[in-house]
Amino acid sequence: MTDYDQKQIERKWQEKWQRMKIYHFDFESDKPIYSIDVPPRYASGPLHAGHAVHYTHIDFVARYKRMRGYNVFFPLCFDVNGIPIEERVERKLGITRKDIDRHKFIKLCSEFAEKNIKKMIEQYIKLGESMDPTIYYQTDAEYYRRLTQISFIEMYEKGLIYRGEFPVNWCPRCMTAMADAEIQYVERETSLNTIKFYFKNDQPEQILKYHGIGRDEKGFYVEIATTRPEMLPSCQIVAVHPKDERAPWLVDQILKVPFFDKEVKIVEDESVDPNFGTGIVMICTIGDKEDLKWVFKYKLPMEMCIDEEGRMTEICGKYKGLKIEEARKKIIEDLEREGYLIKKEPLKQNVGVCWRCKTPVEFILTKQWFLKTLPFKDLVLKTSNDIKWYPEFMKKRLEEWVNSLEWDWVISRQRYFATPIPIWECQNCGEIILARKEDCYVDPTRDPPPVEKCPKCGGKLKGSEEVFDTWMDSSISPLYNTFWHRDEKLFKKLYPMSLRPQAHDIIRTWAFYTILRCTLLTGEKPFENIMMGGFILSEDGTPMHASLGNVIDPLEIIEEFGTDAFRCYAASCS
Ligand SMILES: [Zn+2]
Ligand SMILES: [Zn+2]
């Protein structure tokens, strides 16, 4: 064994295998087909050891099936669209995408991704992964985006797409709407501020025996604790728990919102936590998703106090234009000076943040495109039951997610580096003109619409500047792989695919969206089997992630110990 030079021998075989093309899918063969819906690796950076183990596991399946006599379909592929790449480019150059021309920015993103793809292909070869480069795809290529656009047009024509004004999760830094699945929860230190809300009417003396109620020279007041005093201008109601001893005194009374010429009613509601603050809470439009339930239940007006850039809106009076944090600081100072602030205490709180930039997520009203999702919960659950899950218990995660869904899927994003939404809008009457399927791929920011002017009113048409959520691209990977809208005969032969291997942290996104969309578009499940991989943890027990800075380059391990040693290690991780 002392003479064994793994570097030389591995290189020799890697080169030979490439020359022999032994991993290529054979379109002519009549051997049984085993097709793998490979996770297109995201092109925001090179592979780390965790990815390498994950892809090596998938490679084991491909090699095993080849040895069992199957004609294995195992594409080399990359996912390229989206915010993470835009962010890396923005950080690298110290700019935001709004600083330069849209198409120049897209080009920079594309160049950044191409560099990573080149590096990853080299890594795959050195890792001995046997993906087939002749059935290659990347999701930002026009040939792929064409299918994303066609799938949108077909869903639109089926009445599954609509545009709505809706409060969406919004990252004020990335300036884009976000899906629930993109929100992360982190613990933040904030302050709980107890504020006086004065009664509109005079009160009996007895009311003073209750906690959270007081009187000063300005009259009787209730004490309300809030972490978000900057939302006072959009306060709509105040609530207590029905079993609260104060409820009989308080319900239906009117309170005056400090500083803002506004009166709000007190209601009783089971969902109030009597132990939070003083047990009397203010409901604003809209601080978090909980508030949205109040909006629907009590038919509250959607008065928004925060805009897309995370600044206070015109209903905020003198605070208008301030950033959220500034407004909060200023309003606390003002409340204190005017005698409204009773106390301010530190509080640890779980805050929903943007998974990329960690900015707290806000709710704002925007016009967005939606894909109807809620009417198809049963369809997804039924399809999921027709798929064999490995391990079986992971199916539960999808089911829990589907059952917890409350909104349709927001599929539009206000970004640049992604698939353009193939529509034009009449600037006069708002009529929507869809691209023709035969014209896709189109970029409405550059390409002319299929008709010269609005067929309804003759108005001028403007191409959409919006793009799709990148899951709109990656969730049709089984359709791309099986030649949907490219070759009907091959599609019939290849669809559904045999196996979807994927990581368990994207069950709510990639697995869910793929099952939803492919079933809606074809009437059939996208794959027969789904196999979940785990994470590789770093030494301190956290999952390996480039943004955590705890990653190991697999090539360094291979350089020292050889590919076989690494793959042997991968085989021992389950
Ligand atoms: Zn963000
Ligand atoms: Zn028109």
In this structure, the answer to whether residues 32 and 125 fall within a common structural domain is yes
State in Å: Cα 416 to ligand 1 middle. Answer: 14
Single out the residue in 413, 445, 465 at which a domain terminates.
Answer: 465
In this structure, the answer to whether residues 17 and 142 fall within a common structural domain is yes
Residue 277, in any domain of the structure: yes
State in Å: Cα 177 to ligand 1 middle. Answer: 9
Residue 167, in any domain of the structure: no
Q: For the residues 518-530, what does the mean pLDDT come to?
A: 98
Residue 385, in any domain of the structure: no
pLDDT of residue 6: 85
In this structure, the answer to whether residues 91 and 139 fall within a common structural domain is yes
In this structure, the answer to whether residues 567 and 537 fall within a common structural domain is yes
Single out the residue in 409, 433, 465 at which a domain terminates.
Answer: 465
Give the Å distances, CA to CA, from 228 to 103, 274, 288, 307, 372: 39, 18, 11, 16, 33
Single out the residue in 333, 354, 375 at which a domain terminates.
Answer: 354
In this structure, the answer to whether residues 121 and 189 fall within a common structural domain is no
State in Å: Cα 412 to ligand 2 middle. Answer: 22
Domain that holds residue 426: 422-465
Domain count, the chain: 3
CA 335 to chain CA centroid, Å, is: 37
The yes-or-no verdict on residue 180 having pLDDT over 80 is no
State in Å: Cα 175 to ligand 1 middle. Answer: 7
Residue 388, in any domain of the structure: no
Residue 170, in any domain of the structure: no
In this structure, the answer to whether residues 224 and 318 fall within a common structural domain is yes
Residue 573 pLDDT grade (very low, low, confident, very high; cuts 50, 70, 90)? confident
**Which has the higher per-residue pLDDT, 287 or 11?**
11
Give the CATH number of the domain where residue 248 resides.
3.90.740.10
Give residue-wise pLDDT tens across range 63-115.
999 999 999 999 999 999 888 898 889 888 887 777 889 999 999 999 999 99
* H or E, element range at 198: strand 183-199
pLDDT of residue 95: 79
Transcribe 286-344 into DSSP letters. Answer: TSSHHHHHHHHHHT-----SB-TTSBB-GGGGGGTT-BHHHHHHHHHHHHHHTT-EEEE
Give residue-wise pLDDT tens across range 333-371.
999 999 999 999 999 988 899 877 889 999 888 888 999
Residue that is written with structure tokens 């074809």 in the block: 522
In this structure, the answer to whether residues 317 and 199 fall within a common structural domain is yes
Give residue-wise pLDDT tens across range 15-60.
898 888 889 999 999 999 999 999 999 998 999 988 999 999 999 9
Neighbours of ion ligand 1 (CB under 5 A): 171, 173-174, 354, 357, 359
In this structure, the answer to whether residues 203 and 311 fall within a common structural domain is yes
In this structure, the answer to whether residues 35 and 112 fall within a common structural domain is yes
Residue 485 pLDDT grade (very low, low, confident, very high; cuts 50, 70, 90)? very high
For residue 571, the 8-state DSSP code is H
Rounded-to-integer distance, Cα 97 and Cα 192, Å: 36
Instruction: Report H helices in 209-309.
Output: 247-250, 289-298
In this structure, the answer to whether residues 339 and 213 fall within a common structural domain is yes
In this structure, the answer to whether residues 456 and 481 fall within a common structural domain is no
In this structure, the answer to whether residues 12 and 95 fall within a common structural domain is yes
State in Å: Cα 424 to ligand 2 middle. Answer: 11
The yes-or-no verdict on residue 431 having pLDDT over 60 is yes
User: Which is nearest to 250 in space by CA: 230, 226, 221?
Assistant: 221
ipTM for the assembly: 0.78
